[in-house]
Amino acid sequence: MWDSATPLAPLQGELRAVVERVLDSGRFVLGPEVQAFEREFAQWCGAGHAVGVANGTDAITIALRAMGVGAGDEVVVPSFTFYASAEAIPPTGARPVFCDVDPDTYCVTPETVAAALTPRTKAVLVVHLFGNVAPVAEIEALGVPVLEDAAQAAGSVGPTGRPGALGTAATFSFYPSKNLGAFGDGGMVTTSEEALAERVRTLRFHGSRDKVTYSELGYNSRLDELQAAILRVQLPHLDGWADGRRAAGEHYRAAGLGELVALPAATEGSAPAWHLFVVGHPEVERVEAALAAGGIGHQAYYRTPVHLQAPMRRWSEGVELPGTAIAAARHLAIPMSSVLSRAQADEVVAALRAAL
């Protein structure tokens, strides 16, 4: 865990100290560490409120319910995303309506969202995929509230601010592999609407604010003190790590990677903190073989888009998503971290150049 090549290595002493602090406190659920992290994270995002929950999937379900989504409603969601983005919708009583993405940015666009809107659309779930920043303002202009799925975009910056403060509400995952990762599960809902934040707080705790009176059917979904303390240590370093991820992307560009594969295209005005650096190639199997031969890590994440997964087919009959099909067939994530060096980027490019 404390490998000197990881950004957490310099924080080892501080992380161990806060774990001891929480253990000594005897407070483990919804205590001072969670309250402090909620304040600090809201301020960092530029949102009025942040509410910690158990994980990023619960964050989506709870945020949608707080936005008034329920039975008979529809929520537009991209199919080229992690399964949880869509999986979190049916528990609200609403149905997912799948929309397409731009295969160059891997994000939804106002045009792909507009094509999926119906009179029953209650919200649009916009995913800032791989750290790229979807055009929230342009999508909001279509007249439907936007919930940001910012699980992969901590540290990214859009043309008008950070993910987390661009739409009606936003959700984050603090799964350990994320740009800001806990040592277990964790999630957050951010919003600048006080009433919406208050309902999220109620829903995360069984539909109650006082453990005595219950106003609705809620969830047992709370960020715990230990994870909040660990995340508080890391938050002040997140912008620096995000700069490192952007620099790693530039290392790949400077090394000539774009001569061999299609590089991810940042959306207009955005500065992505690449959670994953995903390239494209029409013969992606050749790219995979070249990286494997060089002992270089790589991963295809969404070869089968969400709308084609068996549990989702009931909501996707007849859906045609050509951009999603292209992105799914040709994408491949290559090594990315906040400490990836130019020499490491050169090594990846050399392996591909030799094979392609």
Quote the CA–CA distance of 231 and 179 in Å, as a whole number. Answer: 11
Query: Would you state the pLDDT for residue 7?
Result: 87
Residue 267 maps to which CATH number? 3.90.1150.10
Q: What is the pTM of this model?
A: 0.96
| Residues 133 and 249 occupy one common structural domain | no
CA distance 248 to 237: 17
Check whether residue 232 and residue 197 sit in a common domain: yes
What is the C-alpha to C-alpha distance for residues 43 and 132, in angstroms, rounded to an integer? 21
Please state whether beta strands 95-99 and 74-78 pair in parallel, antiparallel, or not at all (unpaired). Answer: parallel
**Do 54 and 174 share a structural domain?**
yes
Among 237, 255, 288, residue at a domain's last position: 237
Q: Are residues 219 and 256 in the same domain?
A: no
Q: Is residue 65 part of a domain?
A: yes
pLDDT tens string 274-283: 999 999 999 9
From 299, 310, 318, 322, select the one nearest 87 (Cα to Cα): 310
Residue 58's contacts (CB-CB under 8 Å, 6 or more residues apart) are 88, 187, 204, 219, 221
Q: Tens digit of pLDDT for each residue in 133-175?
A: 999 999 999 999 999 999 999 999 999 999 999 999 999 999 9
2: in domain: no
Token pair belonging to 192: 């600048």
CATH label of the domain that carries residue 33: 3.40.640.10
165 and 312 co-located in one domain: no
Distance CA 11, CA 235 (A): 11
pLDDT of residue 4: 47
Domain C-terminal end among 210, 237, 264: 237
Q: Is the pLDDT of residue 68 over 90?
A: yes
Same domain, 181 and 259: no
268 belongs to a structural domain: yes
Q: Is residue 332 part of a domain?
A: yes
Reduce the DSSP state of residue 323 to 3 states and report it. Answer: helix
**Residue ranges of E strands in the chain:** 49-53, 74-78, 95-99, 121-127, 146-149, 169-173, 187-191, 277-280, 331-334
Q: Of the candidates 172, 202, 237, which is a domain's last residue?
A: 237
Q: Is 287 domain-assigned? A: yes
Whether 85 contacts 56, CB under 8 Å: no
User: Over 90: is that where the pLDDT of 321 sits?
Assistant: yes
- Whether residue 265 lies inside any domain: the answer is yes
Asked if residue 229 and residue 335 are part of one domain, the reply reads no
Number of domains in the chain: 2
Same domain for 192 and 291? no
Same domain, yes or no, for 74 and 209? yes
The secondary structure element, H or E, covering residue 251 is: helix 238-254
pLDDT given at position 2:
42
Q: Which amino acid is at 244?
A: G
Residues 173 and 67 in one domain: yes
Per residue in 331-353, pLDDT (tens digit) is: 999 999 999 999 999 999 999 99
Q: Is residue 1 part of a domain?
A: no
Structural domain contains residue 64 = yes
User: pLDDT of 231-240, one tens digit each?
Assistant: 999 999 999 9
Taking CA atoms, 23 is separated from 17, 28, 197, in Å, by 10, 8, 29
On whether both 84 and 227 belong to a single domain, the answer is yes
- Show the domain range for 177: 9-237
Pair (207, 294) in one structural domain: no
For residue 1, the model assigns a pLDDT of 40
